[in-house]
């Protein structure tokens, strides 16, 4: 196999290395000798790999010719991928901290020549970075901030950029590489795609706990989807990712909705998508939608200032009043008298011109049917809190008691419950939903469709275990690949 060292100007590389030949970049691109060559390794040491530059085309055409370029075009693009650099820095965090802990400065540059540095103490870090970014010569930049070292970027070094005091070492490492004397480590599998997980660990009653988030991350990584937990401050970074998974409670007048809309506009696969958030978080919309398509639900009435006195006659007492954007027992009240009703309506009308009233349908538990991609995939029983009519009994700010959660095999759920749950979710979209259903007298009534279903470790996943998280991540992977036409990142 021929070893070609390709440079813009051969004068940048004046030393001969046995087993290699130096070729000007333009000659390599235009001479038929090289276009017809198949069995060759191309070591691209051009001055720049900028998109559509000479250096870029050297690697691109080498691949088209069936040769083996270093760096490949995929690696060239990886150098510009800020998300990938952060992912690598996080993944190598222990090694980075151990390798750089002796430094007193706040900035450090590591020069890597075919996986080696002049100082042996950096060998292991150098090899790992070389395996992740296979290019002959690399320069990694590190910065000390917030009490730890982080890699902020990594770039290729062209032949003319090698520092004079490094030249002899770079030549020797090149000779070693060509002769087969190489440091070897298993190549790390880099993600095909990147997912942002919007998550606030401090959120009260958030849809996932820390253990569940870690299970989602593990399931994603099994599918070669790199994940990064982001916060509301990372809005501007959304274009860096292929997918967004929102694990905060959603609302239209909230940053979660802005994130969802931006992600969709940027071409990301997103759960929850903005249409689902808009539809699920408004009980007025849900009531009208379910009624229109004949999905069974408790008798309901859209209440406004002109018909507020008709509620008890239409639904009986006690009945339930719901703020349109209520969630997880917030904004939902039970009233037993007309006086209580009018007082509750006065408060609710301060936030919305319309309120939902529903007949009171007491049960020991609500079914929660998880629907993904228009199919049911898990089921739970959410029991009411002790001596209360809801699953959460709130006794003060930040104080609540909850009923138990019992995961149930899907095949053990009454067929009509699953059927109505799926029918309701499919009116919303084809994403991820949690549908609450009451079973009364052998019939099922859909209470609501939630766009941001709860997943907490040991509860919803008690039957499916880690497969629950894998199922959701497989959905993401399928949608990403559909969106990208099957093309995969390397």
- Encoding tokens for residue 105? 């400065």
70 phi/psi in degrees, rounded to 5: -140, 115
Residue-by-residue DSSP string for 130-195: HHHS--SEEEEEEEEETTEEEEEEEEE--GGGS-GGGHHHHHHHHHHHHHT-----PPP---SEEE
All CATH 3.30.1490.20 domain ranges in the chain, comma separated:
299-359
pLDDT at 190: 64
What dotted CATH number matches 299-359? Answer: 3.30.1490.20
What is the topology classification, in CATH, of domain 2-76? Oxidized Rhodanese; domain 1 (3.40.250)
Residues 437-462: tens digit of each pLDDT: 999 989 999 999 999 999 999 999 99
Residues 272-293: tens digit of each pLDDT: 999 999 999 888 899 999 999 9
The CATH class given to the 193-280+476-483 domain equals alpha beta
pLDDT at 82: 83
Instruction: Please state which of the ranges 73-77, 305-309, 422-426 shows the lowest mean pLDDT.
Output: 73-77
- Among the ranges 67-76, 168-177, 247-256, 422-431, which has the highest mean pLDDT value? 422-431
CA 155 – CA 137 distance, rounded (Å): 9
All CATH 3.30.470.20 domain ranges in the chain, comma separated:
365-475
432 phi/psi in degrees, rounded to 5: -115, 125
All CATH 3.40.50.20 domain ranges in the chain, comma separated:
193-280+476-483
pLDDT at 487: 46
Is the preceding omega at residue 231 within 30 degrees of 0, hence cis? no
Answer with the residue of higher pLDDT: 81 or 271. Answer: 271
All CATH 3.40.250 domain ranges in the chain, comma separated:
2-76
pLDDT at 188: 52
Asked whether 409 and 461 are in contact (CB, 8 A), the reply is no
What dotted CATH number matches 365-475? Answer: 3.30.470.20
Instruction: Please state which of the ranges 187-201, 417-431, 450-464 shows the lowest mean pLDDT.
Output: 187-201
What is the topology classification, in CATH, of domain 81-179? D-amino Acid Aminotransferase; Chain A, domain 1 (3.30.470)
Res. 25: pLDDT tops 90 = yes
């Amino acid at each position: 196999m021929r070893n070609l060292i390709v440079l813009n100007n051969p004068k940048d590389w004046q030393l001969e290395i046995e087993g290699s030949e130096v070729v000007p970049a333009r000659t390599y691109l235009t001479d038929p000798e090289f276009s017809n060559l198949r069995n060759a390794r191309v070591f691209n040491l051009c001055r720049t790999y900028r998109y559509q530059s000479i250096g870029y085309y050297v690697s691109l055409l080498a691949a088209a010719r069936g040769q083996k370029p270093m760096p490949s075009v995929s690696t060239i693009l990886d150098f510009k991928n800020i998300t990938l650099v952060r992912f690598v820095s996080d993944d190598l965090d222990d090694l980075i901290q151990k390798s750089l802990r002796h430094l007193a400065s706040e900035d450090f540059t590591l020069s890597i020549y075919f996986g080696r540095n002049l100082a042996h103490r950096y060998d292991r870090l150098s090899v790992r970075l070389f395996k992740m970014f296979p290019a002959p010569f690399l320069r990694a930049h590190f910065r000390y901030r917030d009490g730890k070292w982080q890699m902020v970027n990594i770039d290729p070094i062209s032949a003319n950029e090698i520092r004079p005091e490094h030249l002899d070492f770079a030549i020797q490492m090149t000779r070693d590489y060509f002769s087969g004397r190489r440091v070897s480590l298993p190549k790390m599998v880099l993600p095909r795609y990147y997912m942002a997980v919007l998550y606030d660990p401090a959120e009260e009653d958030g849809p996932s706990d820390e253990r569940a988030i870690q299970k989602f991350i593990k399931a994603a990584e099994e599918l070669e989807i790199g994940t990064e937990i982001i916060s509301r401050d990372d809005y501007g970074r959304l274009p860096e990712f292929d997918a967004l998974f929102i694990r905060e409670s959603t609302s239209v007048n909230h940053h979660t909705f802005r994130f969802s809309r931006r992600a969709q506009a940027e071409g990301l696969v997103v759960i929850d998508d903005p249409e689902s958030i808009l539809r699920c978080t408004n009980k007025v919309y849900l009531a009208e939608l379910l009624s229109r398509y004949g999905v069974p639900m408790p008798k309901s009435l859209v209440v406004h200032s002109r018909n507020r006195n008709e509620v008890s006659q239409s639904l009986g007492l006690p009945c339930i009043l719901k703020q349109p954007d209520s969630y997880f027992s917030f904004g939902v009240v039970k009233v037993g008298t007309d006086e209580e009703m009018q007082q509750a309506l006065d408060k609710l009308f301060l936030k919305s011109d319309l309120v939902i009233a529903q007949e009171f349908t007491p049960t020991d538990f609500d079914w929660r049917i998880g629907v993904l991609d228009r199919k049911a995939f898990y089921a739970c029983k959410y029991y009411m809190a002790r001596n209360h009519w809801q699953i959460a009994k709130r006794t003060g700010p930040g104080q609540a008691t909850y009923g138990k959660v019992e995961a149930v095999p899907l095949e053990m759920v009454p067929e009509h419950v699953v059927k109505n749950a799926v029918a309701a979710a499919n009116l919303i979209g084809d994403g991820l939903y949690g549908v609450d259903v009451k079973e009364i007298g052998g019939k099922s009534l859909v209470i609501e469709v939630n766009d941001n279903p709860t997943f907490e470790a040991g509860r919803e996943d008690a039957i499916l275990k880690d497969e629950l998280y894998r199922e959701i991540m497989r959905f993401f992977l399928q949608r990403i690949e559909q969106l990208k036409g099957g093309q995969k990142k390397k």
